[in-house]
Amino acid sequence: MDGLSETPWPSAGVSFSLRRDQAGPILLPPVGDHRIVVHASRETWSFCTTTGSRHLRQEGDIDLVPAGEEGGYEAESACEALEIRLSPRVLERAAFDMGSGRRSGLDMRHIMQNERIVHLARALESERRAGAPGGQLYADTIGVALATQLVGLTKPATNPPGRLSVDQLKRLYDFVEAHIDRPLTIEVLAHVAGASSSHLRNSFKQATGVTVHRHVVRRRVERARLLLAQGGLSAAEVALAAGFSHQSHMARWMRRELGETPRSLLRKASA
């Protein structure tokens, strides 16, 4: 993780830590647990790398990052957050106990409000500060309560929706290419595809092997690579033309996807 965290307080199914992050990219790389991140600073302007939008995060705002998925955002100032990791099996058990075909999966969510989840997160924080006198039993009890809240956010499972059609995928690909320099949210892309946001998230990854976010980022990186190879534009101008929030955002993704920096590509173009 990019931020500094105090030593987490773990149990068999839930662990808790206090994140202290500096301004800049805050990365949540994929892990085997679900993550509940509760913003603990008063106000922090941030850029969401998934939706491509700028938001004002306030104390109590929640991000949910499912197990195995990447989360994060870019913060414009230093901030703190309460990070809870919840084992998928705790969610599975809660879904089973609640019955009615409840899903045990977790959907990615950004800047969500839920007073009960915030209350439980603060209970864990108070317990950790007190030296965890309640031990594992207390942590597990809070974990079950959190899982119940999360399962309650989902609707009972019905027949799964069909896969995205070839025509739907083509519309998405064409729309992304035509609007690569603009913010592309999952809601906008779901409308283009004629699908719900959750259906698009799940079905797109099934059809392509990557998430919608990763596809958009890769297309932005490819557009930036081509523009840099053509020359005539500065790296900052290329970043905006390819839909990145700024030059450092573009450089970070180019290093990750291509193993090269904008500067090295510009040198090749001028050689």
Q: Of the candidates 123, 152, 181, which is a domain's last residue?
A: 152
Q: Provide the number of structural domains found in the chain.
A: 2
Residue found by looking up tokens 């197990």 in the block? 67
> What is the pTM for the complete model shown?
0.59
Q: Of the candidates 104, 121, 152, which is a domain's last residue?
A: 152
- CATH number of the domain residue 63 falls in: 2.60.120.10
Domain span holding position 247:
166-270
Q: Of the candidates 152, 187, 218, which is a domain's last residue?
A: 152
**Are 140 and 235 in a shared domain?**
no
Residue 58 inside a domain? The answer is yes
**Are 72 and 136 in a shared domain?**
yes
Residue 65 token pair: 């990052």
Give the list of residues 6+ apart from residue 73 with CB closer than 8 angstroms, or none. 25, 26, 46, 47, 48, 49, 50, 63, 110
- CATH number of the domain residue 208 falls in: 1.10.10.60
Q: What is the DSSP letter of 153?
A: T
Residue 157 inside a domain? The answer is no
Residue 264 inside a domain? The answer is yes
Residue 158 inside a domain? The answer is no
Of 222, 221, 218, the C-alpha closest to 210 is: 218
**Are 137 and 44 in a shared domain?**
yes
Residue 115 token pair: 């007073």
Distance CA 142, CA 112 (A): 19
Residue 48 token pair: 């969401």
Distance CA 142, CA 13 (A): 10
Query: In the prediction, which pLDDT does 266 show?
Result: 81
Query: In the prediction, which pLDDT does 174 show?
Result: 94
Number of continuous H segments (helices) and E segments (strands) in the chain: 10, 11
**Are 24 and 147 in a shared domain?**
yes
Based on C-alpha coordinates, what's the Rg of the chain? 20
**Are 21 and 137 in a shared domain?**
yes
**Are 132 and 66 in a shared domain?**
yes
Residue 233 inside a domain? The answer is yes
Of 259, 251, 176, 241, the C-alpha closest to 214 is: 176
**Are 140 and 26 in a shared domain?**
yes
**Are 114 and 142 in a shared domain?**
yes
Query: In the prediction, which pLDDT does 2 show?
Result: 47
3-state secondary structure of 119: helix
Residues 63/66/71/72 CA torsion (nearest 10 deg): 20
**Are 108 and 199 in a shared domain?**
no
Per-position pLDDT tens, the chain of length 271: 345 455 455 555 888 899 999 999 998 888 889 999 999 998 999 987 666 677 889 999 999 998 888 888 889 999 999 999 998 888 888 887 777 566 667 888 888 899 999 999 999 888 888 887 777 778 888 888 999 899 888 655 454 556 888 889 999 999 999 999 998 888 889 889 888 887 888 889 888 888 888 899 999 999 999 998 888 888 899 999 999 888 888 998 998 888 888 888 888 767 6
| Cβ–Cβ < 8 Å for 107, 67 | no
Of 202, 262, 245, the C-alpha closest to 69 is: 202
3-state secondary structure of 37: strand
